[in-house]
Structure 1
Amino acid sequence: MKKLLLPVAAVVVLAASAFTYAITQDLKIKEGYAVKFSGSGANGVFKDLKGQVIFDENNPGTAKFDVTIDVKSINTGNGLKNSHAKGSKWFDAAKYPVIHFVSSKVTKTGAGYQAEGVLEMHGVKKPLIIPFTYAKQGTGGTFHGVFNVNRTDFGIGEPGGRVDDIFKLEVNVPVAQ
């Protein structure tokens, strides 16, 4: 009996590990994503988002987000504001070319999910929680999140003035296998 149990246990372990691998495959970020920011004095989008997305809506503990935004892709709809935002008084895109978020924990919430992690912007790393939803569509889906970031926490611009310190970010990211 023991001789029969060992091969059966091995097959179960191999099958389970193969299934686990299948549900934690990377999702590819599709075209049509949007990273919008809004506040008084400046509104716009970042047009270049890249990264690794691993997500299983039934097992969020296995999820991982490691994404970057190219600071030079900022678009406020005004060329002068774009140049100013990329300059040394604001984002300093030459010195700090990317905004980077890496999740450390993803959990299910009553309204969807939340990703806890570290946001690095302008050379400063801060913990951040991003609430989000996921709408499954075929073999992919769309992530949607709305959250606030205080630009002065990251040394971007001077506090106060004509531009809000706290900006609302809205992120929509379609993904596919």
Structure 2
Amino acid sequence: MRHILALSMLLAAFAGQVSAQTSKIVSGSTKFSVKFILGTCNGTFDAPRGEAVFNEKNPENASFNVRIAANTFKTNNNSRDKDMKSDKYFWVEKYPDIHFKSSKVEKKDGKYQVTGTLTMRDVSKTVTLPFEAKKSGDGSYAITSTFDVNRLDYKIGEKDWKLKDIVTVNLQATIK
């Protein structure tokens, strides 16, 4: 009887590991907003791409490896977009990706948070980002995160009284 119980526990643990398989980001969006002297500038990047391992039953085993193409920056102002892609801001020729790689995922007070390294340009910083995960009927997850980034921490432009330092980012991804 003990052997059957031990085997059942082992199979349950294995099933938990199997259900947390690596998934691809299949769709999503990346939006941002930053205040400046004339109001708020809203823009987008193309959808994030990368891989994720996530299962709401075992968030501590989750991981995210996400990239956003910096050259897909759009604000519907061609002159501003060109300037933002230059070496003064994102320097997309030299640093084509914004990259986030997780090191820890946890659930606190009913909410998820992921800690990892966020890299823009040649600057990498450890950040903790909140996120929500909703499972769909097909087994995919809709992941959303809204967070603030200080652009100066990553050498995105210089201090300027016309442009605020804090940028709000809204990231959405469907993993399957």
TM-score range (shorter-chain normalised) is 0.7 to 0.9
1:31-50 pair list within 5 angstroms: 31=27, 33-41=28-36, 42-50=41-49
Aligned to 1:173: 173
Q: CA deviation at 1:9?
A: 8.4
Aligned to 1:155: 155
Aligned to 1:28: 24
Conservation of the 8 A alpha-carbon contact between 1:98 and 1:121: yes
1:2-81 pair list within 5 angstroms: 11=7, 15-16=11-12, 18-31=14-27, 33-41=28-36, 42-81=41-80
1:92-171 pair list within 5 angstroms: 92-138=91-137, 139-171=139-171
1:101-145: CA deviations, max 9, x gaps?
011110102252000111011110111111011111111121111
Conservation of the 8 A alpha-carbon contact between 2:16 and 2:58: no
Cα distance in 1 for partners of 2:13, 2:56 equals 18
Q: Aligned residues, how many?
A: 171
Cα distance in 1 for partners of 2:109, 2:74 equals 34
Give the alignment's TM-score, normalised by structure 2: 0.88
Worse-matched range after superposition: 135-144 or 119-128: 135-144
Partner SS state of residue 99, structure 2? strand
1:66-116: CA deviations, max 9, x gaps?
111110111111111111110010000011111110111101022520001
Partner SS state of residue 91, structure 1? coil
Distance 1:111 1:146, change over 3 A: farther
Partner SS state of residue 164, structure 1? strand
Cα distance in 2 for partners of 1:48, 1:93 equals 16
Distance 1:158 1:128, change over 3 A: same
Give the alignment's TM-score, normalised by structure 1: 0.87
Structure 1, gaps ≥5 residues long: none
1:9-56: CA deviations, max 9, x gaps?
88557634641332121222222x111110113320111421111001
Conservation of the 8 A alpha-carbon contact between 1:159 and 1:165: yes
Partner SS state of residue 82, structure 1? helix
Cα distance in 2 for partners of 1:50, 1:141 equals 14
Amino acid at match of 1:104: S
Aligned-residue RMSD, C-alpha: 2.0
Sequence identity, in percent? Answer: 34
